[in-house]
Amino acid sequence: MFPMLEALAAQWKPAVLGVVTGLVLLSIGGAYLKGRSDGRAITEGEIRADLVQQLTDRGKTDEDVSRMSADELCRDLGGVFRGGRCE
């Protein structure tokens, strides 16, 4: 019917296909990077929570040890307190 339009449409098909392919690849890349970022945030949150727990546990241990006498500490460490020394 319109040979000129058909020729023009035939020339634009590869360009349109290239643009659509590019947009699909960009959206896949964006989703991938978003997923990596979310995964990193979750991992960092878990590391922070673990660190807080370790510091809390360490503080309790320090408190318990500071309340012990030298004799108690020696026994807890598996030694024997003799003559003012832990052996």
pLDDT, tens digit, for every residue of 11-47?
Answer: 788 888 888 999 999 999 999 988 888 888 888 888 8
Look up tokens 């006498």; give the residue: 69
Q: Where are the alpha helices (DSSP H) in 1-87?
A: 3-67, 70-76
**pTM of the full structure:** 0.46
Query: CB–CB of 40/50 below 8 Å?
Result: no
Query: CB–CB of 86/80 below 8 Å?
Result: yes
What is the structure's pLDDT at 1?
Answer: 57
The number of beta carbons lying within 10 Å of the beta carbon of residue 68 is 12
Rounded CA-CA distance 63/78 in Å is 19
Residue 62 scores a pLDDT above 80: yes
Q: Measuring CA to CA, how many Å separate 53 from each of 46, 48, 59, 63?
A: 11, 9, 10, 15
Query: CB–CB of 49/43 below 8 Å?
Result: no
Residue 9 scores a pLDDT above 80: no
